[in-house]
Structure 1
Amino acid sequence: MTDDPLRLAGDFPPATHADWMAMVEKALDGAPFDKKLVARTLDGLAVQPLYTREHWPAEGDPSGMPGAMPFTRAARPLGQAQSGWDIRQCHANPDPAATRSAIAEDLENGVTSLLLRLDRAGRAGLDADADAAADLFGRDGLSLSSVADWDALLADVDLTRVPIAVQAGARAPLAAAMLTALWCQRGVKEEQARGAFHIDPLGALAETGRLPTGVDDALSLMAAVAHNAARTFPTGAVVAVSVDSAAYYDAGASEAQDLACAMATGVAYLRAMEAAGMSLDDACRQIQFSLSLGTDQYLSIAKLRAARLMWARIAEACGASEPARAARLHAITAARVLTRRDPWVNLLRSTMACFSAAVGGANAITVLPHDAALGQPTAASRRIARNTQLILQEESQLNRVIDPAGGSWALERLTEELAGSAWALFQDIEKGGGMAAALTSGRIAEQIATVREARRADIGKRKAPITGISEFPNLGEPSPDLAHPDLGALRDAAGTALARVRAEATADLGAVSGAPAVADLPTAIATAAIKGATLGGLDGAVAAGGGAESVPLPSHRLAEDFEALRDAADAHQAAHGARPRVFLATLGPLAQHTARATYTRNFVEAGGIEAVPGAGFTDPEACAAGFRDSGTTAAVLCSSDAVYGAHAVAMAEALKAAGCTRLLLAGRPGEKKADYEAAGIDGFIYVGCDVLGTLRGLHADLGVTSR
């Protein structure tokens, strides 16, 4: 026995980063290191293959400690270790009975707060029975036109224990008033109320391209509600203002653009609240950031840490006290990463987003059900969504370690670089007059569109592959069972209920429209709501004068281009009784053609095209006969380069003579390109080619109509 410490590497010389680089350069055999091993984000950030202490200072850690400036590591000293994060489930089913049942099931099984999303009619300021609401009722959300509707929906919910968050777009101040009225009606005391009003006028302007009032008026009303909330709910458990970056992220923004827009929006809201007479600390505490997370684990973790870092610096520069500089973060699965095809893969995407949110220290997390892109989620998908969080929190115990990313050279460096890139964009927005000016001028829309098109090109070439969509598609996948509410019947029922509300209403909407000042509006609106005023009535009383307009940010899912091809191929099958087909002209023995035949099958099935296998041909006439039997007009030669050199030209000539109108070759042609093209080969498919463009060309050749 000995007390000497065991030194496992004691007999080996220390390895340095330079030593590793020398070995890497030898292994690369002349290939450029930066091109082969260094990845770059769409923000231009270099992601190294290996990080060492040279990439992050060992002393004087700039990230500080959890709960202290610059809050990179956590907003609170204990992070989420004490009570875990808030498991927030979204509800948007227009069927009130189904939603009540779903809410009860969620609360009984681990969900800790509710996120209620109003339908498009409500977000447009329309009652359910308004003529203009006919095509908007029940779309993308709940119909809540009166306090009675809120009361009925939340009849089984203890509002003293369950926080209620609301998504109502530009009509969030009205929804806030109705929720406040419900608390009053239920006897919930000010210190017992818990919730988030999500008032985000600039976010609503970005999403829809318009506001019911001018930007300044919308900001003033937001600030008045926030001021009222700060005075009325002293515990800080009710947050009025939201900075929701979903409109930017789902339009295609990069992580740095997303953060820059969020920070610039937050600054605009601070200015509005300060102008309304709020102290800076109170204003900071009335803001919650809602950030969408994708499937890039490292970027998502760094994004949340960078958000806290940036906001702390902004609040510090504005003069807020240190405790008030800590950002509240709500993380949600990004809608843009969800796919309609092979939606079960979304389970993995959501798990990754939730994992990243937990490691990044989000205060609240919402996991969208895996079938959310298809329509109304099922009970099973909602259960899986909440259990994803429960497993990561209760079984994996991700909340037990405060900032597990802390000290990681890779994540610390990425956090710092992402924050720096986003800060430069944030400064550019501020120099241009702030977030409202950036939206109304169309600058933000143009900048995001540029990044989106770059990403779209990467997806089209499978440089950014999407599993189950552009890679490894399943043409025989079954369709999930979805709920299909009868919107007509639901709207009739909502109209009947509204007629009763209006018959019993005693509200004076003149008191709302004639409020002496904006500061008086929150109380006037809530009072009218308690007395039976409907959402549409309140909107008409508040939204006087012209509204604001900007270039709206269209929402795009990453998979939509490939899914459009699948939709068109399915429509072709429905119309003609068979899928569009491509013949795989496999040449030579199995060992020679199987790799490229497998690659080609995966390639064409991404466009909904069926691959008809060949038989390993060596005779051109046999290959031509197999093609004629396949019943298609397109073919792909599949084999090794050596076999191509011996047989590709003869096979191509035979296939063309047999009526092949579109002939591709799997592999790069190299110096034989001219010979192959002269023989009738129309194109080449290989890793890095334009997959989307090639598939569109095949669709056109096979008579598939674009949708």
Structure 2
Amino acid sequence: MAIASDPSADPVPEYAAWRKGVAGVLAKARRVEVSELPAEPERLLDVTTYDGLTVAPLYTRRDELPEQPLPGGFPFVRGGDGTRDVRRGWHVAQRFGGPDAAAVNRELLVALDNGVTAVWLGAGERGVPVADLPAALRGMLFDLAPLSLDAGGDAAAVAARIFALLDEYRAAEPADVRIALGATPLTSRFNDTSHTDLDTAVELARQAIARPETIRAITVCGVALHNAGASDAQELGAAIAAGLDYLRALTDAGIDIADALGQLVFRFAATDDQFGTIAKFRAGRRLWARVAEELGAPDFGNAPQHAVTSAAMTTRRDPWVNLLRTTLAAFGAGVGGADLVTVQPFDAALPAGELGVSQAFSQRMARNTQLLLLEESHLGHVQDPGAGSWYVESVTDALAERAWAFLQELEAAGGYTAALTSGLLADRIAAVRTQRESDVAHRKTAVTGVSEFPDLAEKPLSEAARVPSPVARYSAAFEALRDRSDVYLAAHDHRPQALLVPLGTVAEHNVRVTWTGNLLASGGIETINPGPLTGETIAEAAGAAGATLAVLCGSDARYGTDAAAAVEQLRAAGVRTVLLAGPEKAVADLTGAQRPDGFLTARIDAVAALSGLLEKLGA
């Protein structure tokens, strides 16, 4: 391996020394000579995303890209508003809705008094009845707090009622009133939720253009794609493709391209991959600006972005960890330049009251997550704080390219609507979803509190909480195993159990005992650890535990001397399934009754393996 290079020719002279250090560590970890490593050993540390993007372990001046224009200017990568009030930052948006307009109004006004600066309202079939909208919005100052609506198939009726309210509202500057009517005919078709038709959305846009307020009729909801399993580039590319179909419909109806561009809002999911989220929102603006440029209206290529924390990343088990996930997501969306950010309550994946806390508490925690970022960390005081970061700029650039390539694939298939109808879009997203599910199942991707560090002592979920979700939640497969364990617990007063059989000294078995306990707990299997066992005590421990499943835990060397006898002792004690924590090669010479029934390693499909063990244990 040729690590040495000419420092004078390198923009980062220190890079060669760093590379040499990396080579030394990797060689030691892999138990090879440095000369056996590739010429660029740091490439072994690269990570590949679901979009095929390579994330390097270190970014330096080698990765520097030309500086983007200031916020508020084409291509709007650094933000759409160059004069945003730095004392406010982004808008803190909260969703409201329900059939009781008076209760919604009380909740809404309390939230506005306590930090919320934008309202997302479910109306019509998705919340407040159309006739009760004036009561629900009583006291709201429309020129201070933007309003986003979600009315499904009732979008036209809700819009008419909102227009009537605005006719009575006397704003000093009508243009300061910002309303998103929330028509989503194309993206709602993807997840088969009720929606208004495209012709109605076009007519709403025509009405919105004629009004003095700043009203956008159509929301391009990438969240629907994300919740089905889409990667970041797929979410962006498909959303931009849907936006193009909307523009075609609007201009075909005789609407000027500049006015048409002014009728769209984009809504994207924010995840706990903070840098990926930062890049997503920056790349999203760049992509839409490129579309506007191609259509001859580059100055109108700045569409507002509404960030919503991902439902797919949230868990039903150990849901308090969702507070950390949503904090990272809000951070990424805010730093990435989203105009509005909605943090979903940490218990949103559970039925109301499941955890014994009020909805008001959950919403307050969600609201305060953003307020801490804005008012204590002052993240809103700087526009595009990620600008100039070699990593952020590189990922933004690469993600935009991949999303544009996906957009071109959809356009080649006839556009978003055609790709949706043919099944192409669903197939592409399903492929990523399958890969992610495999990564989670093999524990390449960890879900804290579920696939890693699970808490079996937490209160079992109610039957209502175990209903499958239409969202492709990352934790779903492991949580389904835990559901089976809960059912078993209710029937037997204890969870499915496995006996751990530690062999040798603590130093020999402790790592695998800990790892095995964590693995089995992620599937809802409780472990019994009697401490170090020998040939004389193994059968006794198995009999005392009444175990039908046991796992040997020790070093490979210890397996070579003790595994055969231990397996025989366990089988004699009535244990039907004996596993070994470690590779099969550790006991390659064992056969027949001395050979374990299976092997637990870091490379197994943990979901499939745990499901099989639960079945053996009667769950």
TM-score by length of 1: 0.79
Paired residues in the alignment total: 590
1:256 to partner: Cα distance = 0.5
Residue in 2 aligned with 1:427?
408
- Does the 8 Å contact 1:292/1:331 carry over to 2? yes
* Deviating more after overlay: 201-210 vs 377-386: 201-210
* Deviating more after overlay: 255-264 vs 634-643: 634-643
Question: Does residue 576 in structure 1 map to residue 581 in structure 2?
Answer: no
Matches of 2:212 and 2:470 in 1, distance apart?
Answer: 36
Distance 1:596 1:35, change over 3 A: farther
1:185 to partner: Cα distance = 5.6
Aligned-partner SS, 1:635: strand
Residue in 2 aligned with 1:241?
218
Paired residue type of 1:167: D
Distance 1:381 1:446, change over 3 A: same
Matches of 2:175 and 2:293 in 1, distance apart?
Answer: 29
- Does the 8 Å contact 2:335/2:379 carry over to 1? yes
Which of 342, 349, 368 is the equivalent residue of 1:373? Answer: 349
Matches of 1:240 and 1:174 in 2, distance apart?
Answer: 13
Which of 143, 150, 154 is the equivalent residue of 1:171? Answer: 154
Residue in 1 aligned with 2:49?
41
Paired residue type of 1:48: A
Residue in 1 aligned with 2:302?
326
- Residue by residue, what CA displacement relative to the aligned partner does 1:369-407 show, whole Å, maximum 9, x if unpaired? 101110236111100110111110111011112211111
Matches of 1:422 and 1:388 in 2, distance apart?
Answer: 30
- Does the 8 Å contact 2:190/2:420 carry over to 1? yes
Distance 1:677 1:404, change over 3 A: farther
Matches of 2:586 and 2:375 in 1, distance apart?
Answer: 59
Matches within 5 A, 1:170-209: 170-184=153-167, 191=175, 193-208=177-192
Distance 1:597 1:193, change over 3 A: same
Matches of 1:267 and 1:420 in 2, distance apart?
Answer: 17
Paired residue type of 1:320: A
Which of 470, 473, 480 is the equivalent residue of 1:564? Answer: 480
Aligned-partner SS, 2:269: strand
1:53 to partner: Cα distance = 1.7
Matches of 2:145 and 2:103 in 1, distance apart?
Answer: 19
Question: Does residue 614 in structure 1 map to residue 518 in structure 2?
Answer: no
Matches of 1:355 and 1:382 in 2, distance apart?
Answer: 17
Question: Does residue 225 in structure 1 map to residue 192 in structure 2?
Answer: no
Matches of 2:140 and 2:52 in 1, distance apart?
Answer: 48
Aligned-partner SS, 1:289: strand
Matches of 2:433 and 2:114 in 1, distance apart?
Answer: 39
Question: Does residue 267 in structure 1 map to residue 265 in structure 2?
Answer: no
Which of 410, 416, 438 is the equivalent residue of 1:457? Answer: 438
Distance 1:689 1:480, change over 3 A: closer
Matches of 1:56 and 1:14 in 2, distance apart?
Answer: 11
- Does the 8 Å contact 1:661/1:701 carry over to 2? no
* Deviating more after overlay: 258-267 vs 660-669: 660-669
Residue in 1 aligned with 2:6?
none
Which of 349, 358, 376 is the equivalent residue of 2:334? Answer: 358
Residue in 2 aligned with 1:347?
323
Distance 1:34 1:255, change over 3 A: farther
- Does the 8 Å contact 1:43/1:254 carry over to 2? yes
Residue in 2 aligned with 1:138?
none
Matches of 1:674 and 1:117 in 2, distance apart?
Answer: 65
Paired residue type of 1:363: D
Matches of 1:200 and 1:676 in 2, distance apart?
Answer: 62
Matches of 1:206 and 1:53 in 2, distance apart?
Answer: 42
- Residue by residue, what CA displacement relative to the aligned partner does 1:596-616 show, whole Å, maximum 9, x if unpaired? 111111111111111111220
- Does the 8 Å contact 1:79/1:403 carry over to 2? no
Greater relative CO, 1 or 2 (CA 8 Å, sep 6+): 1
Matches of 2:343 and 2:243 in 1, distance apart?
Answer: 24
Matches of 1:316 and 1:362 in 2, distance apart?
Answer: 21
Residue in 2 aligned with 1:23?
21
Matches of 2:592 and 2:148 in 1, distance apart?
Answer: 61
- Does the 8 Å contact 2:74/2:298 carry over to 1? no
1:182 to partner: Cα distance = 3.4
- Does the 8 Å contact 1:587/1:618 carry over to 2? yes
1:618 to partner: Cα distance = 1.7
- Residue by residue, what CA displacement relative to the aligned partner does 1:217-251 show, whole Å, maximum 9, x if unpaired? x32321221121122134x2x22111111111000
Matches of 1:677 and 1:222 in 2, distance apart?
Answer: 70
Distance 1:600 1:378, change over 3 A: same
| Structure 2 spans left out of the alignment, 5+ residues | 1-10, 28-35, 353-357
Question: Does residue 652 in structure 1 map to residue 567 in structure 2?
Answer: yes
Residue in 2 aligned with 1:600?
516
- Does the 8 Å contact 1:172/1:200 carry over to 2? no
Residue in 1 aligned with 2:129?
145
- Residue by residue, what CA displacement relative to the aligned partner does 1:353-384 show, whole Å, maximum 9, x if unpaired? 00001110111100001011102361111001
- Does the 8 Å contact 1:80/1:361 carry over to 2? no
Residue in 2 aligned with 1:296?
273
| Structure 1 spans left out of the alignment, 5+ residues | 1-12, 124-140, 213-217, 485-552
- Does the 8 Å contact 1:469/1:606 carry over to 2? yes
Distance 1:296 1:633, change over 3 A: same
Matches of 1:671 and 1:594 in 2, distance apart?
Answer: 17
1:111 to partner: Cα distance = 0.3
Matches of 1:476 and 1:315 in 2, distance apart?
Answer: 55
TM-align CA RMSD: 2.5
Paired residue type of 2:52: G
Aligned-partner SS, 1:402: coil
1:262 to partner: Cα distance = 0.8
Distance 1:95 1:340, change over 3 A: farther
Matches of 1:332 and 1:578 in 2, distance apart?
Answer: 39
- Does the 8 Å contact 1:583/1:630 carry over to 2? yes
1:282 to partner: Cα distance = 1.7
- Does the 8 Å contact 1:79/1:361 carry over to 2? no
Matches of 1:440 and 1:165 in 2, distance apart?
Answer: 28
Question: Does residue 389 in structure 1 map to residue 389 in structure 2?
Answer: no
TM-score by length of 2: 0.90
Aligned-partner SS, 1:588: coil
Matches of 2:323 and 2:270 in 1, distance apart?
Answer: 14
- Residue by residue, what CA displacement relative to the aligned partner does 1:466-504 show, whole Å, maximum 9, x if unpaired? 0000000111224799x99xxxxxxxxxxxxxxxxxxxx
- Residue by residue, what CA displacement relative to the aligned partner does 1:117-159 show, whole Å, maximum 9, x if unpaired? 24xxx55xxxxxxxxxxxxxxxxx52x3332x21232334344
1:668 to partner: Cα distance = 2.1
- Does the 8 Å contact 1:67/1:79 carry over to 2? no
- Does the 8 Å contact 2:500/2:527 carry over to 1? yes
1:79 to partner: Cα distance = 5.0
Aligned-partner SS, 2:471: coil
Residue in 2 aligned with 1:500?
none
Aligned-partner SS, 1:348: helix
- Residue by residue, what CA displacement relative to the aligned partner does 1:239-268 show, whole Å, maximum 9, x if unpaired? 211111111100000001000011101111
Which of 610, 613, 619 is the equivalent residue of 1:698? Answer: 613
Distance 1:227 1:34, change over 3 A: farther
Matches of 2:195 and 2:111 in 1, distance apart?
Answer: 34
Distance 1:282 1:585, change over 3 A: same
Which of 67, 86, 90 is the equivalent residue of 1:85? Answer: 90
Matches of 1:185 and 1:307 in 2, distance apart?
Answer: 36
Residue in 2 aligned with 1:638?
553
- Does the 8 Å contact 2:152/2:195 carry over to 1? no
Aligned-partner SS, 1:332: strand
Aligned-partner SS, 1:663: strand
Matches of 2:255 and 2:85 in 1, distance apart?
Answer: 29
Residue in 1 aligned with 2:386?
405
